[in-house]
Amino acid sequence: MNKWADYLITGVRYNSDETFIALLEIRKDLGDKPDKPENYTRERIIDAIEKNITFVTSVLRKNDKNEDVWRKGADVSIIEIDNTKYLRSDRNLTKNDNLGSLPII
């Protein structure tokens, strides 16, 4: 596995109305494999992205040999709408966080 970003986002927990991510599971991208998981708040991730720390989504899948392998997802960025910052893996301008189909933590 080549290094994709500074950190991988491998799971999320949304708030009750699913507009904001409450907690993210991240792993430092070590290049050959991801580090152990840590939980960060969305505010901490937004602050890190604003400091040019990079994040990409990633999921664990089986390969054709039935081995677990990490698959690269999408780059994570911030979209600001009406003075509110949202975490997005796309450029859609909807008022909610959206990092695609990550496991719920």
Return phi, psi of residue 17, to 5°.
Answer: -100, 10
pLDDT digit string, tens, across residues 70-99: 999 999 999 999 999 999 998 888 899 999
The reported pLDDT for the residue numbered 92 is 85
User: In the predicted model, is pLDDT for residue 1 greater than 80?
Assistant: no
pLDDT digits (tens, 9 = 90+) for 49-71: 999 999 999 999 988 998 889 99
Mean pLDDT on 6-15 = 96
Distance CA 20, CA 2 (A): 30
Per-residue confidence band for 11, with pLDDT thresholds at 50, 70 and 90: very high
What's the CA gap between 64 and 28, in Å, rounded? 26
- Please write the tens of the pLDDT for every residue from 30-44: 998 899 999 999 999
Closest CA to 102 of 70, 79, 80, 77: 70
Query: Would you state the pLDDT for residue 32?
Result: 87
